[in-house]
Amino acid sequence: MRVLLLSLLGLATLLTACRDEELTNLAGGVTGQVCNPVTGRPAGGATVTADWVNPFNDKPGSKDTTADENGFFRIGGMPVTTVGLTIANEEFENELQVDVVALEDTQLTDPACRDLPAEPGMGELVGQICNRHTGSFVTEGTVTVLLASGEELVADIQPDGSFVMPDVPVGIHVVYVQAPGFQKTYQIEVTEGGQTLLEDQVVDCEPYDELTTGMIVGAICGPSDTGGEGEPLAGARVYVVQPIDGIIYEDETLPDGSFTIAGIPTPQAGLQVRAEKGGFVYTWDNVDVFSIADAPDGTNLTASVGCQELVPDDDRRYLVVQGTFDKIEQVLSRMGLNNVDLLEGVPADPSELWSTAAFSNYETLSNYDAVFVNCGISETDLVLGLNTAVKENLRRYIQEGGSLYVSDWAYDLVEAVWPDRIDFLSDDTENSAAEHGEDGTYAADVLEPGLAEYVGAGRVDIGFNFGNFAIVSQVLSGVTTYLRADVGYRVNGGVSTLTDVPVTVGFSDGAGRVIFTSFHQESDDAGNTEILDGPEDLVLRYLIFSL
């Protein structure tokens, strides 16, 4: 009997051991990527802790690991059960659940991880730069592609004017050509695996005949409301109104505001020359042009004034959707733009929707050259979801040449109509989810050369006087970043820092332009406006010129 009892005990022990071994062999794991639930960015270095209760013996268990620099992790050797995961670092703590499957690694899908743009393919950018002012190739200088991330790709111009820039990401980019006495801006679209020519035609670059051609020169600046000289204005179109031999002779102002319209057949008498930038113009009448041999410096339209300030174009109309925390209409007024219609963005009747009043009738909307939407508008429209006709009309309005300026909390309007152009902080499907900015003054890098010249600096201090401003996480290819800064953002009752955040951006859609800025013209609780006469005001003015 004793022998039999010992045998049974031995068998039980063996069965138990086999069962434990079987359970061990059936263990599974969890792997995946974890992200910051506020920023949507990978949570590199976060601690991932798995907690469970073993269903076979009711014993609690726990394992942890550290995610790599891209937020990826793996935890193995866990029982087949539902496991609680805690993802945490100094900025956040997030809790998830995942079911462990026997003999497999369960792939975690962290809802905090936003859909980030895929790495684009690459193409090659080539070209040969001709200085249209002289009719000669540019023999030195650089070609710079400014990527959406803020990174710069630079190629040197060779003595024959040519350049080659390999490994340029696919997409739409802004290209700056800079050389002694020459600068020009292009927008190009790089295609995958091929060559993209900077100019869409073969360069025919020959020096002008000094005996038979002449030029018109000068400088353009923006209007000043202080009585002094305005700031130099880049990107203004200056052209001879009358075609000569079927050709429109024109130029675009450099960052210092200067222009040169060269190669004009001479002599010419009584020409009309016009400068345009956004809603501002100036016209010179009765302009005479002589050959370079007779007038080596050309006909200087601004010799007596230094630079010519543009004036408001009375034919342009603007619509401003008024808000609680922003007064862009007062900026327009200070710039002399008074042909402005105002629409109440916080209707007294909550059932009235400002978006319907502004955008539901395309014929009415198309009468405006630009629309401005202030911060602090009623967000009922955005919470409910924009009417389909409203979104279609607004998109069509931009594509057909209209302009839209959106400030801070009104960012959801851009996200609703163009969801694939700007990636805002946190959940893109949740209204106001990006509003985590910490108020303060931030040193912003000025990335757009024309703006840098206009404000007179490559870095400016921008005041964010109200907290919880909307934060841009990143922008896609083809979006211009005007200003970028390290900004504070509020999370879990504290404040952390996001680096290289775009705070002012813009993009084209068809023939029109959309601009978003996280900062704005402030107003206090009484509705009085604090006039920002520093770099903030200059940036806003330049953006208005860009519409």
Domain limits, the chain: 30-109, 122-197, 213-312, 318-545
The three-class DSSP label of residue 387 is coil
User: Domain spanning 30-109 has what CATH number?
Assistant: 2.60.40.1120
Q: ∠ CA 45-48-51 to the nearest 5 degrees?
A: 165
Higher-pLDDT residue of 260 and 20 is 260
Residue 117 pLDDT > 50, yes or no? yes
Fold of 122-197: Immunoglobulin-like (2.60.40)
Segment 142-163 mean pLDDT: 86
Token pair in block for residue 469: 């401003």
The CA distances from residue 20 to 12, 26, 57, 181, in Å, are: 12, 10, 10, 81
Half-sphere exposure of 374 (CA within 13 A, CB side): 27
The predicted structure's pLDDT at residue 529: 52
Distance CA 64, CA 506 (A): 43
pLDDT-based confidence at residue 525 (cuts at 50, 70, 90): very low
Token pair in block for residue 132: 């249209």
Residue 299 pLDDT > 90, yes or no? yes
The predicted structure's pLDDT at residue 24: 43
Q: Render pLDDT for 410-459 as a digit per residue (tens, 0 to 9).
A: 999 999 999 888 989 887 778 888 999 999 999 999 988 888 888 888 99
The predicted structure's pLDDT at residue 348: 87
Whose tokens are 């690694």? That residue is 105
The predicted structure's pLDDT at residue 321: 96
The predicted structure's pLDDT at residue 17: 42
Segment 15-22 mean pLDDT: 42
Higher-pLDDT residue of 9 and 181 is 181
- Give the amino acid at 525: D
Q: Render pLDDT for 244-277 as a digit per residue (tens, 0 to 9).
A: 999 999 988 887 889 999 999 999 999 999 999 8
User: Domain spanning 213-312 has what CATH number?
Assistant: 2.60.40.4130
Contacts of 446 by beta carbon, 8 Å cutoff, 6+ apart: 452, 455, 457, 458, 459, 460, 482, 483
Distance CA 523, CA 465 (A): 9
Whose tokens are 């001879």? That residue is 240
Distance CA 304, CA 33 (A): 65
pLDDT-based confidence at residue 466 (cuts at 50, 70, 90): confident
Q: Render pLDDT for 319-367 as a digit per residue (tens, 0 to 9).
A: 999 988 888 888 888 888 889 999 999 998 878 899 999 999 999 999 9
Domain 318-545 classification at class level? alpha beta
Question: Torsion-angle region of residue 193: left (phi > 0), alpha (psi -120 to 50) or beta?
Answer: left
Segment 505-531 mean pLDDT: 76
Residue 163 pLDDT > 90, yes or no? yes
pLDDT-based confidence at residue 178 (cuts at 50, 70, 90): confident
DSSP H helices in 385-437: 388-399, 411-417
Higher-pLDDT residue of 270 and 179 is 270
Token pair in block for residue 461: 């201090």
Segment 106-130 mean pLDDT: 81
Residue 9 pLDDT > 50, yes or no? no
Do 318-545 and 213-312 have the same topology in CATH?
no
Are the CB atoms for 142 and 178 separated by under 8 Å?
A: yes
Neighbours of 363 (CB within 10 A): 7
Average pLDDT, the chain: 85
State the SS3 of 273-339.
Answer: EEEEECCEEEEEEEEEECCCCCCCCCEECCCCCCCEECEECCCCCEEEEECCCCCHHHHHHHCCCCC
